[in-house]
Amino acid sequence: MNNRNKLNSKIGHLWKQNRGFVLFLGLMLVFRSAFADWNSVPTGSMKPTIVEGDRILVNKMAYDLRVPFTHISLLHLADPERGDIIIFDSKASDTRLVKRVIGLPGDVVALSDNALFINGKPLNYSDGAVAGTVNAHAPKQAYELDKTEDLVGIKHSVRVNKQGSHLSSFDAVVVPDGHYLAMGDNRDNSADSRVIGFVPRSEIVGRTRSVVLSFNYENFYIPRKDRFLHTL
């Protein structure tokens, strides 16, 4: 038996021994690509809703049934709604991002001192508790506050800096067709549509509504029990 036949024989033997595992691995990858997956969250741009170390469950069939490992849609199922927390592969930032949908196609959106206006109407806010300071020596007016924002019927928490930032305001813009305006809940610490522009519909890969588990990066990656299966 020549060397080529020996190699083919070894490959065939390995395949027979491991084909069950290989098929399982392939099916798992297809499932994670097209149906559901989990993503780690390394930054605080969605605080206080999502914190660093959260592993969020991503429903990849929330809006489309796609060809596995691609952004090609086989079946359109739904469109993102205002208030949805979306996951998208941003070409502008060259990374995967997690943000909240604020503006739908055709909406007119403005932001003034961290207060949103949608189609000319101001959103309602209720003040929350002090979230912490920017640094240990920051004056009292520099505290971050958690507020409840009523996003046209979708109530959720946002975090703002009382001193504001260069992200705290923008003039009215019209969301173009096939795009969405997305923002992080940590309003003064999020590189979102205010930085990268509108989010194309084709870049959105799914929606999240829950945390699977969470690890505390500041405490030896110990799991956070209160975040296990936490609803967003």
Give catalytic status of residue 90 as yes or no: no
The gap between the terminal CA atoms of the chain, to the nearest Å, is 62
Give catalytic status of residue 99 as yes or no: yes
* CB-based contact 111:168 (threshold 8 Å): yes
Element (H, E) at 114: none
**Active-site entry in 45, 90, 193, 214:** 45
Burial of 98 (0-12, 13-18, 19+ CB in 10 A): buried
Distance, in Å, from the CA atom of 131 to the CA atom of 56, rounded to the nearest integer, reads 22
Distance, in Å, from the CA atom of 147 to the CA atom of 187, rounded to the nearest integer, reads 11
**Active-site entry in 90, 99, 190, 193:** 99
* CB-based contact 168:186 (threshold 8 Å): no
Distance, in Å, from the CA atom of 146 to the CA atom of 129, rounded to the nearest integer, reads 6
CA atoms 60, 106, 199, 144: torsion sign: negative
Q: Point out the residues that are catalytic.
A: 45, 99
